[in-house]
Amino acid sequence: MQKEPLKDGTIEAYRAGYKDLDRIWSVLSKTCGLSDAEYWSLLMIREGALTQHEISERLFMSKQTVNSAFRQLVKKGLVRLKAQEDNLRVKQIVLTEEGERFSRQYIDDMLRLEERVWMELPAEERVLLTRLTRKYNGLLNAELQKHLK
């Protein structure tokens, strides 16, 4: 028995779309042998993030999840952690030579793929999608904050 397609404009259809996008990103991370947290951490490094704390904040992931991802990235030889001179407790993330090669091959390739797909949308749709996503996220966050008080 085939399920009825979800009606556009419903929260269920939005959630299904969001989950599908999340699944696609998960497939991308798996194709290069990384967990989702490892993949997103490398992507954040490519975008200039320097510490695990910064990555944790930007990805809204727990420090434990990011720390575990970095243990694996170190084990795979893709990154090394180096103490900052002004604060020895804070470790700066440095891509190894292998990590640079891996990131160019997989992370940068996926970013180019995403950019190609993004550019297939007309400019007005890209703007609208961005604005509506921000608006929805802002409204949902505001409601969550009220709920948590």
Q: Do the Cβ atoms of 105 and 98 come closer than 8 Å?
A: no
Provide the pLDDT for residue 149. Answer: 83
Judged against a pLDDT cut of 90, whether residue 142 lies above it is answered with yes
Whole-angstrom Cα distance, residue 57 to residue 91?
A: 15
Judged against a pLDDT cut of 60, whether residue 41 lies above it is answered with yes
Provide the pLDDT for residue 1. Answer: 57
Provide the pLDDT for residue 79. Answer: 95
Pairing of strands 91-95, 79-83: antiparallel
Burial label for 47, CB within 10 Å (0-12, 13-18, 19+), is: exposed
Judged against a pLDDT cut of 60, whether residue 101 lies above it is answered with yes
Whole-angstrom Cα distance, residue 7 to residue 41?
A: 35
Judged against a pLDDT cut of 90, whether residue 118 lies above it is answered with yes
Global pTM reads 0.81
pLDDT band at residue 2 under the 50/70/90 scheme: low
